[in-house]
Amino acid sequence: KKFHKQFYKLLLGVSGTSMEKNITLGSAARIELSCKLDNKYSHLKSPQVTWKRGNETIGHISKTKNSWSIQLKILDNSNLGSYSCTLKGEEEISAVFNLQVPKIGGKEKPIVSYEGDTAVMICESLDYTPIAWTWYMTNGSEQIAINDSLLADKYAINRISANVTHLKILKLTKEDDGVYWCEAAFELGKSKGKLKLKVLSFMVPLKPFLAIVAEAVILVTIVFLYEIYSKKKEKHA
C-alpha cells in the first residue's frame, strides 16, 4: 500500500521552553517530522540533537542546515504518541509532536428530558470518517455496549451519514439518567465522546406552580377566617 507523505515542522525558537504540535491521523500514513532552528540561534555551534518517542531515544536523523528530521511509517496505534526533538548546546530548546487519532467531541451540557419522553444523542466526526460507531452506557465504573437489535423497544441507533451517529432512547425512566459514550473506530485506533443525560420527573417543573397555588390557598384561607372572625366580633358587639 502506497502512502502520500505528510510533512510537519516546528520552529525551535524559545530557549528553555518546549514548542508543541498536535497531529491528527485518520489512517495509516508516512510522515516526516522536522525541527528547524530559528535564525536568531544560528550562532549555536554544532548543537547536539536527540529525538525521542516518549522516553525512548530513536535515531535515523536526517540533517540539513539548522534542520533535523525523522521519517515514520504510521501503520497502527502502536506508532502513535509523542515524538520530541531536543537541541542541547549553549542553550537547551525542545519541541514535541503529539500523534493522535481524531477526537470525538461530546456535549458539555447535559441533555435534559422527562420520564416517558424520547431522548436523542448525537456524535459526529467532521473531518475524518470512522470505520464504525459503537454506543455505550455507563453502569457504575463499567461501560456496556448498547445492542439496539436486542433492545429494539428501548434503543435505536442510526448512522445518519458516515460521519454522524444518533442514539435514540425510548420511554425514558429515571434509570436512563447517566453518562453515555460514543466510540468511533478509525484505521489507527478508537476515539470516544462523552454525553450526559438528565431524566426529570414531570413533578419538577410543577413544583414552583404548586408552591404558588399552596401560598394562594393559605392566603385565601387566612382572609376567609379573618372575615368570619370580624363578623362574629361585630355581631357580639
Specify the residue for cell string 525541527. 35
Least confident segment among 1-10, 138-147, 149-158, 208-217: 208-217
Is 206 a residue whose pLDDT tops 60? no
Is 210 a residue whose pLDDT tops 60? no
Least confident segment among 57-66, 96-105, 151-160: 57-66
Is 60 a residue whose pLDDT tops 80? no
The CATH code of domain 111-200 reads: 2.60.40.10
Report the pLDDT value the prediction gives residue 5, as an integer from 0 to 100. 85
Residues 21, 33: Cα–Cα separation, whole Å: 11
Report the pLDDT value the prediction gives residue 219, as an integer from 0 to 100. 74
Is 36 a residue whose pLDDT tops 80? yes
Cite the residue boundaries of each domain of the chain with CATH code 2.60.40.10. 4-100, 111-200
**14 DSSP assignment:** S
pTM over 0.85: no
From residue 92, alpha-carbon distances to 2, 35, 41, 55 in Å are 38, 13, 11, 17
Question: What mean pLDDT comes out for the span 134-148?
Answer: 91
Residues 189, 1: Cα–Cα separation, whole Å: 19
Higher per-residue pLDDT: 202 or 29? 29
Widest Cα–Cα separation across the chain: 114
* Residues facing 220 on adjacent strands: none
Is 80 a residue whose pLDDT tops 90? yes
Among residues 116, 107, 133, which one has the least CA distance to residue 197?
Answer: 107
Report the pLDDT value the prediction gives residue 204, as an integer from 0 to 100. 53
Helix (H, G, I), strand (E, B) or coil at 221: helix
Residues of the chain above pLDDT 90, percent: 48
Question: What mean pLDDT comes out for the span 98-107?
Answer: 87
Extract the C-alpha cell encoding 156.
435505536
3-state secondary structure 69-133: EEEEEECCHHHCEEEEEEEECCCEEEEEEEEECCCCCCCCCCEEEECCCCEEEEEECCCCCCCEE
Q: How far is CA 43 from the centre of its chain?
A: 44
DSSP run (H or E) holding 178: strand 178-186
Question: What mean pLDDT comes out for the span 174-193?
Answer: 94
Least confident segment among 126-135, 145-154, 206-215: 206-215
Residue-averaged pLDDT of the chain = 84
The CATH code of domain 4-100 reads: 2.60.40.10
Residues 6+ apart with CB under 8 A from 158: 165, 166, 168
**171 DSSP assignment:** S
